[in-house]
Structure 1
Amino acid sequence: MTRAALVVRGGWDGHHPVEATDLFVPFLRESGFDVAIETDPQTYADADRMAATDLIVQSVTMSEISQEAVRGLRDAVAAGTGLAGWHGGIADSYRASSDYLQLVGGQFATHPSKHPDEVHGDQSDNYLDYTVELTDLGRGHEIMAGIDDFALHTEQYWVLHDDLNDVLATTTHPVQPYHPWHRPIVSPAVWTRDWGRGRVFVATPGHSPDVLQDANVRTIIERGMLWAARTR
């Protein structure tokens, strides 16, 4: 039976929403989804369309969303539609909407930068070596099966979050003399969230297509999308 996936992409171009989501469209089709693509989150306000959608994959960094669209998205997930995404496309969307932030369960706060002497004024200023570390919960979860802690060189998201998340992996921001915090900060890197009858999946790695093609990152996102859609 064919299932319906809706990819909503747009917002800040720095996250390459078209190229990034295009990496996963073939996988979704091979997994039995009829894939539709939209560039306006207002589609969430279409109740009939949402009721017929099994999975929403969102890649919209920052941007704005209407109250009607947020309500439609929340209602759809609560009724059983899965919601999945990565990096700023889901964890840094619609900053002015508290209802959206509550639904997703985590909001990008910052990505700490390199030493001031190594800063050049471009995106690479925030590319750090860091480790994604599985939690005990993650080690037993189907999304993370066969995956161990792994290293990345990219933006390391500092995320504001709440306890409704089931955190499958974390990353730790160390103390540096050029930053103002005084102890290591642990942020979720991969989490799931139950919302009504629906499921939410978020992975914070994914700043650029090369990161999304990392074997671990890509596997986690592919499995996360299927998990959110209840096909795993």
Structure 2
Amino acid sequence: MRALIVRGGWDGHEPVACTELFRGFLEDNGFTLRVAETLDAYLDPDPYDLIIQCWTGARFTERQESALVERVRAGAGFAGWHGGVVATGYEAPTYQFMVGGRFLCHPGGFVDHTIKINTKHPLGYGLSTFDVHTEQYFMHVDPTLDVLATTAFTGDHGAPETAGAVMPVAWTRRFGSGRVFVCTLGHSPADLQVPQTRTLTERGILWACGIVPDHDRDH
């Protein structure tokens, strides 16, 4: 299997360090990797089973957007986290439609909040609610997402409008013949190394490329 990692954009999300965390995991699962630090990688005609994107603030050309979206629609897996997938491509409507959500704000910056796992989701097995101290992403999301994890907003931190909102944190999504996995956690390598976040992300990556975890979803 072949995986393409596309990384770059805003340095504050440490795209190199964050994607390097998963290099060994991908290689151990049989992937041959290509790492690209240009969005023109999407114009490469070579086939990939999996695309991992970590590029906050991307401004796709029409050709880049079309090439990426059509790759996924044709069957490639697409996975990523945090701003690298949902705070990017704002002028790219078909990309936004494919991903299923876009970042709006994170009231209070780094705050304590709780992540609730949907244990009925096939990727949620064995996981339970956990607490984090990081950005709590408020999103606009597609109502058809298959939600894996959520967080509840309190209306604190100067954003009373958010009170009571239950927001997707991680989700899976079918797109044509492809699969999409998104997790809004992952501001930094430290966030991605929280055990539950790491597990969610690894499972999502494998799901995106069609490797179904070996488990009984009823347990």
TM-score by length of 1: 0.88
Counting only pairs closer than 5 Å after superposition, residues 1-232 of structure 1 correspond to structure 2 as 3-46=1-44, 48-49=45-46, 52-113=47-108, 126-135=109-118, 139-176=119-156, 178-181=158-161, 183-232=163-212
Larger radius of gyration: 1
Structure 1, unmatched stretches of 5+, are: 114-125
Structure 1 runs, 4 residues or longer, greater than 4 Å off: none
Q: Which amino acid aligns with 2:3?
A: A
Q: CA deviation at 1:144?
A: 1.7
| 1:180 shift after superposition | 3.9
Q: Is the 8 A contact 1:130 1:171 kept in 2?
A: yes
Q: Which runs of 5+ in 2 are unaligned?
A: 213-219
Question: Going by fraction, where is helix more abundant, 1 or 2?
Answer: 1
Whichever residue aligns with residue 140 of structure 1, its letter is K
Shift of 1:53: 0.1
Indicate conservation of the 8 Å contact 2:156/2:163, yes or no: no
Separation (CA, whole Å) in 2 of partners of 1:164 and 1:142: 17
Contact kept in structure 2, 1:55 and 1:228, CA below 8 Å: yes
- AA of the residue aligned to 1:31: N
Distance in 2 (CA, whole Å) between partners of 1:177 and 1:218 is 27
RMSD value over aligned CA atoms? 1.2
**1: distance between equivalents of 2:144 and 2:165?**
19
Partners of 1:27 and 1:84 in 2: how far apart?
14
For 1:108, what is the secondary structure of its paired residue?
strand
- Worse overlay, 53-62 or 94-103: 94-103
AA matched with 2:24: P
- Corresponding residue pairs, total: 212
Deviations 1:29-55 (A, max 9, x none): 000000110011122123x22xx2000
2:78 aligned counterpart, secondary structure: strand
Secondary structure, counterpart of 2:161 in structure 1? coil
